[in-house]
Amino acid sequence: MSGEAQSAAQYIQHHLQNMTYGQFPEGHAQAGQWGLAKSAEVAKEMGFMAIHVDTMFWSIFLGALFLFLFRKVAKTATAGIPGGMQNFVEMVVEFVDSTVKGAYNGRNPFIAPMALTIFVWVFLINFMDLIPVDWLPMFAGWIGSTVFGMEPHDVYFRVVPSTDPNATFGMALAVFVVTLYYSVKMKGGLGFAKELTMHPFESKNIVIKVILMPINFVLEFVALLARPLSLSLRLYGNMFAGEMIFILIALMYGGGIAVGIFGGFLQLGWAIFHILIITLQAYIFMILTIVYMDLAYQTSEDH
């Protein structure tokens, strides 16, 4: 049983490890050189400058796929009877447009395209979780062994970028920077500073107002930092939990025919339910981005 437990643990750890490219640490046989880590320990020691190749590849590929498909539909759009793809794209665009109109009170032609990009891109990234957990990692292992001469178990390959906190924090940080930019642009540096120091506690007495300023700043600054943290951790936590369940269900296929059949039904049921989760998480990321942008346009008088 201990051997089986260890085998299951190794299986889970292998599926949760990213393909990491970086500089080998001191003490390694290839210290100072750059290459792919063959263990989680080496990947961790590569430090901040290491790159998760699989996360970068799928993020860029799915983003490019989104741009290609929507651009193709836009170029071939017809006023007559639209095809299935045009119908789908128009439905998504109308959905995002109505959401922006309902949650955003300012005027900025940048908001709707940004919301559309976030919704579709995050959805496509999340959708990768519906691909059976072994298919693409096994294919990557085959490529690594036949093309690069690597051992298959040394090839790590995760296909869901949103289960990598680096990806979710990166997207949330980009949204955070954009909201900060528009906050300063619309309110001015002094107006933005007043927003951080004059609320939520106010007083007409100058002395009390000065005393309350650092308290207000701490509260508002924490609330400000909570935005990218909540965006990133919510998406990461939900998608990581979903991926873990798929991995645990996949382990059941090695438990015999009866357990494997039961695992197949579980996988189908969880996949159907997970369609709702991946769509909901993409929507939540989009709607919170719109709300944060709306807050960036609000002046201190609106609070």
List 126, 162, 232, 238, catalytic entry: 238
Cβ–Cβ < 8 Å for 168, 122: no
pLDDT band at 302 (very low <50, low <70, confident <90, very high): low
Q: Is 108 a catalytic residue?
A: no
Q: How far apart are CA 26 and CA 236, in angstroms?
A: 32
pLDDT tens for 228-284 read 999 999 999 999 999 999 999 999 998 889 999 999 999 999 999 999 999 999 999
Q: How confident is the model at residue 299 (pLDDT cuts 50, 70, 90)?
A: low
> In total, how many domains does the chain have?
1
pLDDT > 90 fraction of the chain, expressed in percent and rounded: 74
238 is catalytic: yes
State which residues form the domain around 283: 2-302
Helices (H) and strands (E) in the chain, counts: 9, 3
Report the predicted TM-score, pTM, of the whole model to 2 decimal places: 0.91
pLDDT, one tens digit per residue, over 153-184 is: 889 999 999 999 999 999 999 999 999 999 99
Q: Is 234 designated active site?
A: yes
Active-site residue (options: 108, 145, 166, 234):
234
Which of these is catalytic: 87, 98, 203, 230?
230
Quote the pLDDT of residue 59. Answer: 97
Closest by CA to 53, choosing from 41, 61, 42, is 61
Alpha-carbon gap, residue 164 to 149, rounded angstroms: 27
